[in-house]
Amino acid sequence: MAQTEIAPLESSTLPRQKTIWDAALRMIRRQPLGSAGLLVIVIMTFAAVFADYVVPYDPEIENFEYMLMPPGTMDETTGITFMLGTDSFGRDMFSRLVHGARTALLVGFTASFIGAFVGLVLGVGSAYFGGYIDLVFQRVMDVFMAFPLIIMALAIVAIFGTGTEKVIIAITIPFIPRCARVVRSSALALRELPYIDAARSIGYSHTRIVMRHMVPNVMAPFLIMLTAFVGQAILLEASLSYLGLGVQEPTAAWGLMLQGGAEEFAESAPWVPIWPGVAITLAVFGFNLFGDAVRDVLDPKLRAQN
């Protein structure tokens, strides 16, 4: 039996394997602003996760020898340097900023994930059951939507008290109706589709139809709401902490850093009010840019407009 020789393929004729870098480049070209947002998010997440290794000093240790040192101050004898200066308790601003990222992301991610997820289930459920349940549910959501975010959050903080976990609850609850409403309107159209009828006629349970058949099909509005929520949650946490009703001292949080006499020292030590604000703005900016890009990709109807 004659053997056919199979000529080895020349590697140059093969298409080059797509690496992760190609994918990244493609994304940067298609969504330059979104990529910039993602970069900010990645840096922030890195800072938050490795905060203990990144920062030079403990963010909660007070040292009255080093009160309100301007940025770049170096103690000649000990060699301690404060890159971004210190606050009125002598705590290193840079260390507090990095640890503040941890608080902001913890509150931002937890509140928006839980809020959006509960909203998703409630919204889809309401659309699926329809009829009276839907009507009553819609009126209840209307009532909750009539409260401005911050007022609702303030009332909830008053009930549960202050502190990081309580702030998360206070921010999560007002998010629920906002997500539920958007998701419900997409789910309403789904309910009429034949495959839902089919699922029902096979005898699947309501839970199964809602969770397995409807929820995956409203992922686009869900993800759009979710990404929009993270930025809002960070802002809301900062506002609550600024009012003294959010995260409490000595935990490092950006809003709290602005509250600690930021106006008082505005003139004598402008770095105290400036850095935390820059951090909040950058973080929310990053999440918003990224959120816009997610919306562009997932919702082609909106793509033309922006």
Partner 1 sequence: MYSYIVKRVLLLFPTLLGAAIVVFLLLRLIPGDVCMLKFGGEGGYVDPEQIKMCQERLGISDSKIEQFVDYMIGFATLDLGVSMWTGQPVTEEIWIRFPLSLQIAIMATLTSVIIAIPLGVISAAKQNSMIDYLVRAFSIAGIAMPSFWLGILIILGLLIGTQAWSGVPWMPPVHYKSIFDDPAHNLSQLIWPALATGYRYSAVATRMTRSAMLEVLREDYVRTARAKGLIEQVIINKHALKNALLPVVTIIGIEFAFLMGGLVVTEQVFNLNGIGKLFVESVTQADYTLTQALVMLVVFIFVLVNFIVDLMYAWLDPRIRYS
- If one asks whether residue 218 binds partner 1 (CB under 8 A), the answer comes out as no
Q: Could you write out the DSSP letters of every residue in 233-280?
A: HHHHHHHHHHTTSSS-TTS--HHHHHHTTTTTTTTT-THHHHHHHHHH
Q: How, if at all, do strands 81-82 and 73-74 pair?
A: antiparallel
Of 27, 88, 285, 299, the residue at the interface with partner 1 (CB under 8 A) is 285
- Secondary structure element (H or E) that encloses residue 74, with its range: strand 73-74
C-beta closer to partner 1: residue 158 or 198: 158
Contact window for partner 1 (CB under 8 A) among 7-15, 56-64, 69-77, 158-166:
158-166
Of 142, 207, 208, 250, the residue at the interface with partner 1 (CB under 8 A) is 142
From 99, 36, 116, 133, select the one nearest 247 (Cα to Cα). 99
Q: What is the per-residue binding string for partner 1 in 238-277, x denoting contact by CB under 8 A?
A: xx--xx-x---------x--x---xx--xx--x--xx-xx
Q: Is 61 helix (H, G, I), strand (E, B) or coil?
A: coil
| Residues touching partner 1, count (CB under 8 A) | 47
As a whole number of angstroms, the distance between CA 136 and CA 170 comes to 24
Q: CB 289 → partner 1: shortest distance, Å?
A: 7
Q: CB neighbours (10 Å) of residue 67?
A: 14
* List of residues contacting partner 1 (CB under 8 A): 139-140, 142-144, 146-151, 154-156, 158-159, 161, 231, 235, 238-239, 242-243, 245, 255, 258, 262-263, 266-267, 270, 273-274, 276-277, 280-285, 288-289, 292, 304-306
